[in-house]
Amino acid sequence: MAKKKPALKVIPLGGLDGIGKNMTAVEYGNDMLLIDAGLMFPDDDQPGIDLVLPDYTYVLENEHKLKGILITHGHEDHTGALPYLLQDLRNRVPIYASRMTLGMIKGKLEEHHLTEQPVVEVQGGEHIDLGALGVDFFAMTHSIPGALGLYIQSPQGTLLHTGDFKLDQTPIDGVVPDYHALNRFGAEGVDLLLSDSTNATRPGFTGSEASVGASLRHIIKNAPGRVFVACFSSHIHRLQQVCDAAVAVGRKVVVTGRSMVTNTKVARELGYLNIPADDIIDAFDVDDVPDDKIVVLCTGSQGEPLSALARMANGEHRSLSIGPDDTVIISATPVPGNEKSVQNIVNALARIGCTVFDKSNALVHVSGHGSQEELKLMLAMVRPKFFAPVHGEAVHLRAHAKLAISMGIEPDHIFVLDNGDTLEMRDHKVKIGQPVESGVVYVDGMRVSDADPVVLRDRQKLSNDGIVTCVVTVNARTHKALEVDVSARGVSFADDGDVINGAQDAVRATVDRASEKAGWTVDASRRAVRNSLSNYLWQATHTKPMIVPVVMEV
């Protein structure tokens, strides 16, 4: 009797910008599996935060059910929370992922001394059972090799999770999306589809990765000097195309930037990146090779100020420099929020006078996510009964929902979820379930702290207005001021003796006046100091810095 079985629950966790992008729990009775364990990078309005993790309290509370962690592909937003999660779990449940994905994870685990962690390599076409849940992995194409989608079977019905995907008929490694599997699952009956919405507002079909190759070859072949190519270091197919173009025209490849060095090493070891050892040279040997025999693969396509490209553009790289006869290819699009940083690098390169190719003037980048026609094709093949767009901001999820409606899926069979919402499947029917605790946690130094709005608000206030500290020692008997010390940081009047002295005088007068009142307390005196200082500074400078008053009886 279906009624007596527990529901199949789908629980997207965390994710400021993409429901279910970083982590999704799938649970049936006492069996739970986790899809991905990724992180986010902080926004401008989260100053000083190093990383943002999904809040996986729910996973820890239900650890006894956890049977496995499935990682769809090796990008940070799908793998980056693993070290934190694994340290918080008491038991070592296995990680299931493709060879490439495990290669990307391995370094992370070693760095965090998690070498005992069991990992299981899987590939498209494989099936595993985790308790009452069955999982079929199938090949998908994305901007990193070894991307897998998941088809999950439970006693209440099935769900298909695309992972991040595009539909590329000519991927560089020849591993096309497994359309046969998708159509077979569709024919068997997919009750719920969770599908990548990143490009749901973009019409048409995303171009094949192969289409970038011709353009890269053309530029590299005709460049008079050195060619520098900046792209995501995990975009192994892009790197392969750059290496192929370099080797074809007799140029040596130099690799620079920490993650670029690491990832090319891993990808070469695993056989995902193929370039003869002779064709790779060290950055310090570059001066022995003529400029027109060099291609530099570098980090910095997002304008990161400390990246190899930024250092080279600003003349601060320890071994490589860019000259006016050189060519720079920015083989990426800025992630929202990075536009200005990338533009800063483009301007620095313009000052050098080198030739710059980017998305605006050459076909040097295509997205790793499918556009509207690919999303519709996915829906047409999978033919889900219920649909939840995932991986995307509010605008993308809703655009994806509209695509589904245009293909005949009933609006009430479509779920546009929010953080902490859950879906429950019973007898092949899906509905919204009880919400769970969700959200994000911040990594700041060593700490994993709750999303503490006070700390962030304080930091923004400090950053906008600066801080003034006022220390007053008062006579313990008379409560009159002995010494007053005002110091200021991050304010324009920090070194202005008139303002600082004026502030000290104002505070001293206030403290002395307050000392004569009945019922004197340190707290009351501190409040008086704060008010007096705040008023004085507003009058004198029209600024409102944060004020830290300290009153000490001596």
Footprint of a copy of itself (CB under 8 A)? 43-44, 47-48, 201, 336-337, 339-340, 343, 346-351, 353, 356, 360-361, 393-395, 397-399, 442, 444-447, 449, 452, 454-455, 458-467, 469, 471, 473, 482-483, 485, 487, 489-494, 541-543, 546, 548, 550, 552, 554
The strand pair at 24-28 and 423-426 is best described as unpaired
**How many CA atoms lie less than 13 Å away from 336 in the CB half-sphere?**
5
Q: Is 369 marked as a binding-site residue?
A: yes
Residue 463 annotated as part of some ligand binding site: no
Q: How many CB atoms lie within 10 A of CB 276?
A: 9
298 and 259 Cβ atoms separated by less than 8 Å: no
Closest CA to 362 of 204, 227, 237: 227
Residue 426 or 461 with smaller CB distance to a copy of itself: 461
Shortest distance (Å) from residue 204 CB to a copy of itself: 13
| Shortest distance, position 442 Cβ to a copy of itself, whole Å | 8
Q: How far is the CB of 128 from a copy of itself (least distance, A)?
A: 37
How many Cα atoms are found within 13 Å in the side-chain-facing hemisphere of 221?
11
In angstroms, give the least distance from the CB of 15 to a copy of itself: 13
Q: Which long-range contacts (CB under 8 A, 24 or more apart) does 134-140 make?
A: 135/33, 135/70, 135/96, 136/181, 136/185, 137/96, 137/98, 138/177, 138/178, 138/181, 138/182, 138/185, 139/175, 139/176, 139/177, 139/178, 139/181, 140/72, 140/164, 140/165, 140/177, 140/178
Active site residue 196: yes
> How many other CB atoms are found less than 10 A from the CB of residue 63?
13
Task: Give the H or E element holding residue 237.
Answer: helix 236-248
The C-alpha atoms of residue 531 and residue 526 are separated, in whole angstroms, by 9
- Considering beta carbons, is residue 114 or 546 the nearer one to a copy of itself? 546
Q: Check whether 368 is labelled as a binding-site residue.
A: yes
DSSP classification of residue 63 = G
Which candidate in 75, 369, 391, 396 is catalytic? 369
Whole-number Å distance between alpha carbons of 465 and 467: 7
For this structure, is 498 an active site residue? Answer: no
Distances (CA, A) of 43 to 83, 338, 444: 22, 10, 13
Q: Active site residue: 164, 168, 191, 196, which one? A: 196
* 525-532 contact pairs (CB < 8 A, 24+): 525/472, 525/474, 525/479, 525/551, 526/550, 526/551, 529/470, 529/472, 530/470, 532/506, 532/507
Looking at the Cβ atoms of 187 and 394, the one nearer to a copy of itself is 394
Smallest gap, in angstroms, from Cβ of residue 323 to a copy of itself?
A: 15
Is 366 annotated to bind a ligand? Reply is: yes
Note whether 22 and 38 are within 8 A (CB). Answer: yes
Phi, psi angle pair for 54, to nearest 5°: -65, 145
Cβ 146 to a copy of itself, closest distance in Å? 30
Pick left, alpha or beta for residue 462 (phi over 0 → left; psi -120 to 50 → alpha; otherwise beta): alpha
Other CB atoms within 10 Å distance of the CB of residue 360:
9
Nearer to a copy of itself, 269 or 483 (CB): 483
* Residue of 131, 32, 47, 134 whose CA lies nearest to 23: 32
> With respect to a copy of itself, which residue has the nearer C-beta, 139 or 417?
417
Question: At closest approach, how far in Å is the CB of 222 from a copy of itself?
Answer: 17
CA distance readout (Å), 98 to 108, 112, 163, 203, 249:
16, 21, 13, 31, 33
Q: Measured from the CB of residue 199, what is the shortest distance to a copy of itself in angstroms?
A: 12
Output the smallest distance, CB 77 to a copy of itself, in A.
17
* Structure tokens belonging to residue 255: 């690799």
Phi-psi region of 359 (alpha: psi -120 to 50; beta: other; left: phi over 0): alpha
Nearer to a copy of itself, 138 or 357 (CB): 357
What's the CA gap between 336 and 401, in Å, rounded? 22
Residue 174: Cβ within 10 Å count: 6
64 marked among binding-site residues: no
H or E element, residue 261: helix 258-269
Annotated binding residues for substrate, written as ranges, equal 365-369
Annotated binding residues, written as ranges, equal 365-369
- List residues with catalytic annotation: 196, 369
